[in-house]
Structure 1
Amino acid sequence: MNLPNAAIEQIEKRLPKVVDARTHGIIDYCHAAFFFGMAWMCRKKEPRAAMAALLTGGFILVESMLTDYPLGVKKVIPFETHGRMDAAFAGASFMVPKVFGFEGTTAANIFVGNGFTESAVVGMTDWNSEQARAEEHDGGFAIAS
């Protein structure tokens, strides 16, 4: 296990579970908007970073819209599975600058910071609480079996 992933695992285990499903959804949509904004800001000076940010924002938006939490649109991804996807995404954020070829730039630092921030959100989210399950069925958000 590499150092960033080991750090992520420790962060996730030790944080208090204070983020509920609805709050996590709000964070997700803000997260997607952040990366779309980053794509716009980087489009001329850092086109590779802009493409990575655009793909990241798109991934986060689609994942959010398909999750079975209160702000999901078509609830096909269980909330707990969303959490595992977020954890994997946090680890992958460290590799994005190398894969897309913009290492050593300010944009690369944003992706590294995102890895740690995403880890903190994953670590503070209560993925399997009774409250999270109850919210999945509140206000017409029932999940079809």
Structure 2
Amino acid sequence: MTQNSSRGWPRPIDATLHGVTDYSAGTTLMTVFPSLVGLSGTTAGTQIRVAGAVHAGYSTITDYPLGVVKAIPYKVHLALDALGAVALAATPFLTGQYRKGTRHWAPHVGLCLFELGSLLLTDPTGRGDYKANVAAVREGNMEDPHRKIHDGAPAVTPATA
């Protein structure tokens, strides 16, 4: 893995992978995430659903490989990601939802930290700087998985057709 010399650490996430995570996260936040954390039908859950919708919305108009309209620059999109993450973390405190207990603010803060962490790994040029040895990965995938686990006999006998 090479390092982006202007940042001092590797930034392996390119614009395409960032787009995949944008749509995946936006859809998850709009649909199942509030239920998974026990916030379905609450104001805190609605805040998360709205954040997911907004995120997916501006992702569709971003100028990157998975953008549909390509109206806003990729770097503006990344700035909106950071702003949105901080805003999401702040909403339960600004609206008083934090008084209802940890489950009404912890998911917001956790999502903020996840978003900010992913931004630290995203290359703002959109190229990504992860250079894998694809041949070595393919060769590793072709090895017998039983040999990787232990030197004994296989735990399962392969089926024959």
TM-score by length of 1: 0.72
Q: Any idea what the Cα deviations from partners look like across 1:26-85, whole Å, max 9, x if unmatched?
A: 0111111221123456233xx211220121011111011011111111110100111111
Match of 1:120 in 2: 117
2:76 to 69, 76, 81: 81
Is 1:22–1:69's contact at 8 Å kept on the other side of the alignment? Answer: yes
User: Could you tell me which residue of structure 2 aligns to residue 5 of structure 1?
Assistant: none
TM-score by structure 2 length?
A: 0.65
Pick the structure with greater CA Rg.
Answer: 2
1:69 touches 1:75 (CA, 8 Å); kept in 2? yes
> Hey, what's the Cα distance between the residues in 1 that align with 2:29 and 2:65?
22
Q: Is the 8 A contact 2:51 2:84 kept in 1?
A: no
Identity of aligned residues (%): 29
CA RMSD of aligned residues (A): 2.0
Q: Provide the residue aligned with 1:109 in structure 2.
A: 106
Q: Within 1, Cα distance between the matches of 2:35 and 2:26?
A: 13
What residue is the counterpart of 1:66 in the other structure? 61
User: How many angstroms apart in 1 are the aligned matches of 2:43 and 2:106?
Assistant: 14
**Which stretches in structure 1 are left out of the alignment for 5+ residues?**
1-12, 133-145
Unaligned regions of 5+ residues in structure 2, if any? 1-6, 129-161
CA contact (8 A) 2:75 2:124 kept: yes
Deviation beyond 3 Å, 4+ runs, structure 1: none
